[in-house]
Structure 1
Amino acid sequence: MAQTTKYVIKYKLNGERRFEFAQLEKGTPDEAEAALKALHGQSGDVISDISVSKAL
């Protein structure tokens, strides 16, 4: 199993500012986007303005 770190993902969902916590390996925007798509499903929601930083 790969080493993960807790990150906070800040993003917009259909224009509404939101954030989530996630255990990610590298904390890249692509990895964060994949985690958000898994969380929100393929319901046609628009995910944008993704930023990732280590959680305190």
Structure 2
Amino acid sequence: MTGKTVAQTTKYVIKYKLNDERRFEFAQLETGTQEEALAALQALHGKTDDVITDVKVSKAL
């Protein structure tokens, strides 16, 4: 054992609009907050001029 603790994550679905186009992604998040989901989407889409809006998070089935 290395002594590292692993954060507990849950699979969520993130519904959002990217440049006014409806999209969704699945992500493993710790808390499932809108802020955490937005950070995951920004990491996924990188540093672009894309506009991410209408972020909604729910547990995946």
TM-score of the pair, normalised by structure 2:
0.91
Higher Cα Rg, which structure = 2
Quick one: percent identity of the two aligned structures? 77
Distance, in Å, in 1 between the alignment partners of 2:49 and 2:36 is 19
Q: Quote the offset at 1:43 in angstroms.
A: 0.6
State the match for 2:51 in structure 1. 46
Equivalent residue number for residue 19 of structure 2: 14
**Structure 1 position 44, deviation (Å):** 1.1
TM-score of the aligned structures, taking structure 1 as reference length:
0.99
1:2-54 CA distances to partner (integer Å, 9 max, x unpaired)?
00000000000000000000000000000000000000001110000000000
Structure 2 unaligned regions, length at least 5: 1-5
Aligned length: 56
> Within the alignment, does 1:55 sit opposite 2:60 as a pair?
yes
Instruction: Let me know the Cα RMSD of the aligned residues.
Output: 0.3
Structure 1 residue runs without a partner (length 5+): none
